[in-house]
Structure 1
Amino acid sequence: MATVILVRHGRTTANASGVLAGRAAGVELDDTGREQAAATAGRLAGIPLAAVVSSPLERCVQTADFIRQQQQSTPENVLDADLIECDYGLWQGRTLSELAGEKLWSTVQIYPSAVSFPEGESMFGMQTRAVAAIRSRDAAIEAEHGSSAVWVAVSHGDVIKSVLADALGLHLDLFQRLSVGPASASIVHYGATGVRVLAINTEAGDLSWLAPGLESAQAPVGGGSGHRAS
């Protein structure tokens, strides 16, 4: 299958002020977030991306634009509503410090699979739609561009963590053990014989070794010889 690079949006004004933005409109990258997005775009510049697929929220669209602008060719640009942030319902717009006092907070930390946000979405529902979106898009990109294709999905922290948990074979209740920082890149390669998670939450480093694409999802016995030279 193709290879997907999961990129979280850069830091936003809401992130900086400790507010749970959720799906609120008008939440954009701050100066630090723009710098982060530009740096990530630079890391991806040497990879001919088949597509840049983004959550429709502004902060993801802005991050995706940085990535596309540094590509030598123009990759397909797609908005995918199934990559949107979790619907936090009545929690949206409140500060994290205030939410930490809610009874539901401890359940979010320990048993997220049991959480349904008041007047919002369940975390299990979030994972289900996000994983389905990533896997189906990956298959479609491979069908169009071949198994060595590399593409980017720009989304949100909890969404990406839930996709990574699925790829790692982790129960959703363990997904809080994963960290996904602003503008970080995580790499997943799906295949008929299995899934390989090649990186999680990387914020620096050369990614040009991905330019030729990956041909197999099978894990090399003994660890293999490392990445091919670019």
Structure 2
Amino acid sequence: MRPRTIFLLRHGQTDFNVRGIVQGSGVDSSLNDTGRRQAAQFFAAYGHVPFDKVYTSALRRTQESVQQFLDLGLPHEAHAGLNEISWGVREGTRITMEEDAEYRQVLAGWVAGDTHARLTGGESPEEVAARQRPFIELLKAREDEETVLVCMHGRAMRVMLCQLLNYPLSCMEGFEHSNLCLYKLEYTGSVFTIKNFLDVTHLQAVG
């Protein structure tokens, strides 16, 4: 089997991102003007790639980020398993490490290995990983899809990368992210490896 290529993309900017308001899986926001420009820049850089399939979460900010690829008629599937982590009762509110003791405590717990911890009403990384696993198995099984574009969310992407690369979830902070950043992976049929790490070169193009 020839190595397969997975483009793992975070969605573009939303007004919630700018304002520091938590979105999570319960806030179905749209891209703002900057996010739409980022999506156009990514398409300008990678619109020539012959993707066999485009996968997104069930939230519209991911589909809007790859809409120009979908407009080409590429096959598309939306999977709720790719949705962002649920931040529970904090969704739609502003959380900062400086101001929110519970948020700070939960994130510190994750780094320390307590990946079953969650904010009130929200999900733990372990729960996110569990709902991602059926998608990962589907992705592995579809050997005819040699080049795939997956658009998802920041925290969920960190969980996904830990799973694909066989890292404990406590290591997820090592996978930094920004709006419309790209992680490009190769899959040999047994092992995933990262070829591009936090790649934003497409956003730095002139014009």
Deviation sequence 1:94-149 (CA, Å, 0-9, x none)? 10227842234233142361322312211111123224413422422x2x44xxx1
Question: What is the root-mean-square deviation of aligned Cα atoms in Å?
Answer: 2.2
Q: Aligned equivalents of 2:36 and 2:177: distance in 1?
A: 17
TM-score normalised according to structure 1 size = 0.78
Tell me the equivalent position of 1:39: 41
Q: Aligned equivalents of 1:26 and 1:160: distance in 2?
A: 17
User: Aligned letter for 2:59?
Assistant: L
Change (3 A) 1:155 1:100: farther
Tell me the equivalent position of 1:221: none
Q: Is the Cα–Cα contact under 8 Å of residues 102 and 119 in structure 2 kept in the other structure? A: no
User: Aligned letter for 1:172?
Assistant: L
Q: Aligned equivalents of 1:18 and 1:118: distance in 2?
A: 19
Tell me the equivalent position of 2:83: 84
Deviation sequence 1:42-73 (CA, Å, 0-9, x none)? 2221210001111111111111213333x5xx
Tell me the equivalent position of 2:205: none
Tell me the equivalent position of 2:191: 194
Q: Aligned equivalents of 2:147 and 2:139: distance in 1?
A: 12
Farther-moved stretch of structure 1 (22-31 vs 4-13): 22-31
Q: How does 1:41-80 map to 2 (within 5 A)?
A: 41-69=43-71, 71=72, 74-80=73-79
Post-superposition offset of 1:196 = 1.5
Tell me the equivalent position of 2:201: 204
Matched, 1:151 2:148: yes
Change (3 A) 1:102 1:66: farther
Q: Aligned equivalents of 1:159 and 1:53: distance in 2?
A: 14
Aligned-residue sequence identity (percent) comes to 20
**Length, aligned pairs only:** 198
The residue matched to 1:153 in structure 2 has which SS? strand
Post-superposition offset of 1:40 = 1.1
Runs of 4+ in 1 over 3 A off after TM superposition: none
Q: Aligned equivalents of 1:135 and 1:57: distance in 2?
A: 21
Matched, 1:128 2:130: yes
Change (3 A) 1:66 1:2: same
User: Aligned letter for 2:12?
Assistant: G
Q: Is the Cα–Cα contact under 8 Å of residues 51 and 152 in structure 1 kept in the other structure? A: yes
Structure 2: gaps spanning 5 or more residues: 203-207
Q: Is the Cα–Cα contact under 8 Å of residues 68 and 75 in structure 1 kept in the other structure? A: yes
Q: Is the Cα–Cα contact under 8 Å of residues 188 and 197 in structure 1 kept in the other structure? A: yes
The residue matched to 2:128 in structure 1 has which SS? helix
User: Aligned letter for 1:95?
Assistant: R
Post-superposition offset of 1:197 = 1.4
Change (3 A) 1:186 1:23: same
Q: How does 1:158-197 map to 2 (within 5 A)?
A: 158-197=155-194
Q: Aligned equivalents of 1:107 and 1:161: distance in 2?
A: 16
TM-score normalised according to structure 2 size = 0.85
Change (3 A) 1:98 1:169: closer
Change (3 A) 1:160 1:131: farther
Q: Aligned equivalents of 2:137 and 2:91: distance in 1?
A: 28
